[in-house]
């Protein structure tokens, strides 16, 4: 076999092949990607996607420029059927989109086990081709794992847990990049927050690896800085709050000599503003003084501190979207409510 034959073989193997599943005998259009050809039905695609609907309608009247605005190119026929090349889409991603459309059990948006690459592919392609229902479902699936309420967020916030067939920590940046590229605004604050919890070095490395757009990375870094500042302000004001409380908290341990666990905490030299530098909002657990306090304090003082900490955490969380230039939680929750009802 000479070099020319080898090259010829390589070209043959690179030509897209009919897909095993998505090749319906009575299909009436062929879609082409880098890897696969799909023989599918125009009517079903048109029902779900305004972009495909427009593309098919235009190609019916012989407009050769049909659909090019969305990245597709109308081309010649394949076995007598119209052949449309989906420019810039990966074959595997298109498989996920088309199987979601054609196989009712292929994608379940109630599941948290959908592989990450399918979640990302569906968000990107449903947006590009305007499959409204699929886009809504994917966004609702993601937001369940990155909720807008701090109590709900705490329940899922474990980077070592499994999510989308991967470790949760591996999902943050891939999802942020996809959300940003598809203008899925409702997902921004919690995804920015999840990514903010990492060191700057990790943020830059992961953003590069996961293809997070540069503007998105800037917004993340700027927002992270504002979030930290907000966080320090809240933590620093805690000292005054504890000081004031020592006068009217009836410490169980104190008894008649009026020693208070809270006073001990203040005397321990704790600097509340330095609780943490990792933006995780669980700041108190990081501080050895606070750890000692929770181990030794009476129930009254413990309950008081827990209440104050929860209050401070909520104050930081309430302002979270504004740190990243996003609309407030109320606007986001309203939009999510509309999506869930649509
Ligand atoms: Zn006490």
Instruction: Output the CA 154–ligand 1 centroid distance in Å.
Output: 27
Which of 104, 114, 230 lies closest to 162 in space, CA to CA? 114
Instruction: Output the CA 311–ligand 1 centroid distance in Å.
Output: 19
Instruction: Output the CA 237–ligand 1 centroid distance in Å.
Output: 21
Instruction: Output the CA 235–ligand 1 centroid distance in Å.
Output: 21
At 227-259, the pLDDT tens digits run 888 888 887 788 888 888 877 788 887 655 556
280 pLDDT more than 80? no
Alpha helices in the chain (DSSP H): 3-14, 42-48, 50-60, 91-102, 116-128, 132-145, 150-156, 172-181, 188-196, 200-209, 214-236, 238-248, 261-267, 288-296, 299-318, 320-323, 329-341
Instruction: Please report the pLDDT score of residue 277 as a whole number.
Output: 44
Instruction: Output the CA 202–ligand 1 centroid distance in Å.
Output: 41
Task: Give the strand pairing for 36-40 and 72-78.
Answer: unpaired
Instruction: Output the CA 269–ligand 1 centroid distance in Å.
Output: 17
Residue extents of the structural domains in the chain: 3-90, 233-320
Instruction: Output the CA 299–ligand 1 centroid distance in Å.
Output: 7
Instruction: Output the CA 234–ligand 1 centroid distance in Å.
Output: 23
Q: Which residues pair with 31 in a beta bridge?
A: 38, 84
Instruction: Output the CA 312–ligand 1 centroid distance in Å.
Output: 20
CB-based contact 126:134 (threshold 8 Å):
yes
Per-residue pLDDT, averaged over 263-284, amounts to 64
Instruction: Output the CA 303–ligand 1 centroid distance in Å.
Output: 9
Please tell me the pTM assigned to this model: 0.85
Instruction: Output the CA 289–ligand 1 centroid distance in Å.
Output: 15
Instruction: Output the CA 246–ligand 1 centroid distance in Å.
Output: 9
Per-residue pLDDT, averaged over 289-298, amounts to 81
Higher pLDDT, 159 or 327: 327
Torsion of CA 295, 301, 304, 309, to 10 degrees: -40
Instruction: Output the CA 291–ligand 1 centroid distance in Å.
Output: 15
Instruction: Output the CA 252–ligand 1 centroid distance in Å.
Output: 5
Instruction: Output the CA 286–ligand 1 centroid distance in Å.
Output: 21
Q: How many Å apart are CA 123 and CA 135, to the nearest integer?
A: 6
Phi, psi angle pair for 301, to nearest 5°: -70, -35
At 80-135, the pLDDT tens digits run 899 999 999 999 999 999 999 999 999 999 999 999 999 999 999 999 999 999 99
């Amino acid at each position: 076999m000479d070099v020319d034959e080898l090259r010829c073989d390589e070209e043959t193997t690179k030509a897209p092949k009919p897909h095993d599943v998505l090749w319906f005998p009575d299909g009436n259009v062929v879609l082409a990607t880098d890897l696969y050809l799909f023989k599918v039905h125009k009517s079903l695609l048109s029902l779900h996607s305004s972009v495909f609907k427009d593309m098919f309608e235009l190609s019916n009247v012989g407009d050769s420029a049909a659909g090019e605005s969305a990245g597709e190119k109308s081309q010649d026929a394949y076995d007598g059927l119209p052949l449309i090349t989906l420019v810039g889409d990966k074959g595997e991603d298109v498989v996920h989109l088309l199987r979601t459309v054609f196989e009712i059990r292929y994608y379940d948006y109630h599941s948290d086990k959908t592989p990450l690459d399918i979640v990302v592919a569906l968000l990107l392609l449903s947006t590009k081709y305007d499959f409204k229902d699929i886009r809504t479902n994917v966004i609702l699936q993601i937001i369940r794992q990155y909720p807008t309420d701090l109590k709900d967020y705490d329940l899922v916030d474990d980077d070592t847990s499994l999510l989308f067939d991967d470790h949760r920590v591996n999902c943050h940046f891939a999802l942020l990049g996809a959300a940003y590229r598809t203008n899925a605004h409702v997902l921004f604050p919690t995804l920015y927050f999840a990514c903010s919890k990492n060191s700057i070095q990790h943020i830059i490395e992961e953003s590069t690896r996961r293809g997070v757009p540069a503007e998105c990375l800037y917004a993340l870094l700027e927002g992270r800085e504002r979030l930290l500042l907000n966080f320090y302000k809240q933590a620093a004001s805690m000292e005054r709050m504890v000081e004031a409380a020592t006068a009217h908290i009836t410490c169980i341990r104190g008894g008649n000599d009026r020693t208070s666990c809270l006073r001990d905490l203040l005397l321990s030299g704790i600097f509340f503003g330095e609780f943490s530098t990792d933006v995780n909002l669980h700041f108190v657990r990081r501080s050895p003084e606070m750890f000692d306090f929770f181990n030794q304090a009476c129930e009254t003082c413990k309950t008081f501190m827990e209440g104050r900490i929860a209050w401070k955490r909520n104050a930081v969380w309430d302002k979270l979207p504004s740190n990243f230039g996003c609309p407030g939680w109320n606007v986001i929750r309203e939009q999510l409510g509309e999506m869930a009802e649509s």
